Structure 1
């Protein structure tokens, strides 16, 4: 009888510990990708700077912004199952490297945004 009580108590404690552990795991619903997020922010700033300086045409800017949206979607898809695997992380970094090269190429090509026409009073 004493063994039965001990076994029941141990089982109850392990169930409670398991439930507590499961709750703690649920608090981090989305996996963290701080490097990916930081790079996306920097790339967005580079696109904005190119727009402000006039080194990007409207078409180039739209294309680069769409590429950034695609990156955000790829990141969301990678996080969807709750874990970003090494392969998914590698793919995200590859896509970000490509986006970075595209931003540089577009900012330094021969095309520039046309300055606004002067207004006459």
Structure 2
């Protein structure tokens, strides 16, 4: 293999790698990342699912908490829609998640359970 063939292959590999990296950056730039919000959402969904499965949440409480999570998801989608999540939008999402976390805690630790009558 000649020097020019090796150099051509190296340049081709570097070009493909650079194109892939630029494509990933462009994709990431078009959809702002909210890793903390996504992590909290996953944990809260798991807490709701665990409460429903264990019976500490009634069906009504579970539906209410799920609706609250859906509102947070919609707010996150709206915040990302213009390609930038501002500090104010991020703060609002965290505030909504704080409130949802408290709601989950209160619902799981109240006197109601899935097996109690009148739920």
TM-score greater than 0.5 by the shorter chain = yes
Query: In 2, Cα distance between the equivalents of 1:81 and 1:27?
Result: 14
| Equivalent pairs, count | 94
Query: In 1, Cα distance between the equivalents of 2:79 and 2:27?
Result: 19
Matched, 1:103 2:119: no
Deviation >6 Å, runs of 4+: none
Deviation at 1:114, TM superposition (A): 1.4
Aligned-residue Cα RMSD (Å) equals: 1.6
Query: In 2, Cα distance between the equivalents of 1:50 and 1:27?
Result: 37
List runs of 5+ in structure 1 lacking aligned partners. Answer: 1-22, 116-121
Query: In 1, Cα distance between the equivalents of 2:56 and 2:39?
Result: 23
SS at match of 1:27: helix
Aligned to 2:27: 27
Query: In 2, Cα distance between the equivalents of 1:45 and 1:95?
Result: 17
Q: Output one character per residue of 1:42-90: Cα deviation in whole Å (capped at 9) or x when no partner.
A: 0000000001110000000000000000000000000000000000000
Deviation at 1:27, TM superposition (A): 2.6
Matched, 1:56 2:60: no
Deviation at 1:26, TM superposition (A): 3.3
Query: In 2, Cα distance between the equivalents of 1:82 and 1:26?
Result: 11
List runs of 5+ in structure 2 lacking aligned partners. Answer: 1-21
Larger radius of gyration: 1
Aligned to 2:77: 76
